[in-house]
């Protein structure tokens, strides 16, 4: 068990550029979540996958955001035409579906995005 | 909509002493889970303790225990024998249980815990 990994760990970009983040979940985990954490706040839910299917999206996920999880393994989160308000820590978490929803979400180290 | 409130932005405790972090939540659901997560500086978030709403017994994990008051919608975390390594941001989180289907976590704003040697 190598844990949840995220790449890159840090990303600095100019406003208007596109960025893509990657998350590799724990290998046997079928659920994958993306959260966004701004300074001084708790993480906020963005979107959720069960295997390769994207089952839920938050209203925070504007049209400029898109997430994929091809083949139900790693996931990517792309932000198009970045804005300064997109600056945040983007967290990925994974879990394994268990009975009665006794899942535990394991978090990655996050990707810190700074939009200049 | 469900909400989680942590009213203590910062707390401080002397090493080896006990500290309690507060959390209240609002929900109309009867079946849900509550969590405390720890986020050390520049490190990833880890689960400290979990409470199932249908269980009346308070969860404990070594030096960490909770006081779960379902009627009052209160879920506090007690850390006994505080250690320097306990210094971190602590987040209270809620997740509804929809019969095993998806359930994203709803977090409070966090409490920054400092431990004084």
Q: For residue B95, what is the enclosing H or E element?
A: strand B88-96
Contact residues on chain A for B104, CB-CB shorter than 8 A: 33, 45, 48, 56, 58
| B58's tokens | 């308070």
Would you say the C-alpha torsion B110, B101, B27, B54 has a positive or negative sign?
negative
Query: What's the mean pLDDT in B27-50?
Result: 91
Task: Find tokens 């994929």 and name the residue.
Answer: A68
Query: What's the mean pLDDT in B67-87?
Result: 96
From CA B84, how far away is CA B113, in angstroms rounded?
Answer: 10
- Is the pLDDT assigned to residue A100 strictly greater than 80? no
Strands B111-116 and B10-14: parallel
Point out the residue among A42, A101, A109 whose CB comes nearest to the CB of B97: A101
From CA B84, how far away is CA B35, in angstroms rounded?
Answer: 22
- Is the pLDDT assigned to residue A104 strictly greater than 60? yes
From CA B67, how far away is CA B86, in angstroms rounded?
Answer: 19
Point out the residue among A43, A56, A98 whose CB comes nearest to the CB of B102: A56
Q: State the pLDDT at residue B31.
A: 85
Interface test with A, best of B44, B59, B98 (most A CBs within 10 A): B44
Tell me if A42 and B107 make a contact (CB, 8 A cut-off). Answer: yes
- Is the pLDDT assigned to residue A99 strictly greater than 80? no
Query: What's the mean pLDDT in A77-92?
Result: 96
Q: State the pLDDT at residue B54.
A: 87
DSSP string, B27-95: -S-SSEEEEEEEE-TTS--EEEEEEETT--SPPEETTEEEEEETTTTEEEEEE-S--GGG-EEEEEEEE
Point out the residue among A40, A58, A108 whose CB comes nearest to the CB of B109: A40
Listed range (A73-77, B41-45, B108-112) with the worst mean pLDDT: B41-45
- Is the pLDDT assigned to residue B98 strictly greater than 80? no
From CA A11, how far away is CA B30, in angstroms rounded?
Answer: 41
- Is the pLDDT assigned to residue A38 strictly greater than 50? yes
CB B76 within 8 A of CB B83: no
Q: Using pLDDT thresholds of 50, 70 and 90, give the confidence band for residue B101.
A: very low
CB A92 within 8 A of CB A73: no
For B73: left if phi > 0, alpha if psi spans -120 to 50, otherwise beta; the answer is: left
Q: pLDDT over 70 for what percent of chain B?
A: 96
Q: Using pLDDT thresholds of 50, 70 and 90, give the confidence band for residue B2.
A: confident
Q: Is A101 helix (H, G, I), strand (E, B) or coil?
A: helix
Q: pLDDT over 90 for what percent of chain A?
A: 77
B22-51 residues touching A, CB cutoff 8 A: 33, 37, 43-47, 50
Contact residues on chain A for B93, CB-CB shorter than 8 A: 42
Q: Using pLDDT thresholds of 50, 70 and 90, give the confidence band for residue B100.
A: very low
């Amino acid at each position: 068990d190598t844990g949840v990994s995220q790449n890159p760990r840090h990303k600095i970009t100019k406003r208007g550029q596109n960025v893509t983040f990657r998350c590799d979940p724990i290998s046997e985990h079928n659920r994958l979540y993306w959260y966004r954490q701004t300074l001084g706040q708790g993480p906020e839910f963005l979107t959720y996958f069960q295997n390769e299917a994207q089952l839920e999206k938050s209203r925070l996920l504007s049209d400029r955001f898109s997430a994929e999880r091809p083949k139900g393994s790693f996931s990517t989160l792309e932000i198009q035409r970045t804005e300064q308000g997109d600056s945040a820590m983007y967290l990925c978490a994974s879990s394994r579906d268990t009975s009665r929803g006794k899942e535990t979400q394991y978090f990655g180290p996050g990707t810190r995005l700074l939009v200049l | 909509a469900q909400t989680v409130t942590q009213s203590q932005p910062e707390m401080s405790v002397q090493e080896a002493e006990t500290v309690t972090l507060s959390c209240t939540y609002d929900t109309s659901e009867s079946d849900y889970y509550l969590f405390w997560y720890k986020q050390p500086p520049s490190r990833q978030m880890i689960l400290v303790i979990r409470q199932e709403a249908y269980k009346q017994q308070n969860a404990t994990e070594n030096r960490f225990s909770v006081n779960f008051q379902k009627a009052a919608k209160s879920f506090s975390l007690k850390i006994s024998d505080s250690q320097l390594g306990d210094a971190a941001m602590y987040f209270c989180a809620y997740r509804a249980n929809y019969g095993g289907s998806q359930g994203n976590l709803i977090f409070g704003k966090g409490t920054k815990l400092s431990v004084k040697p």
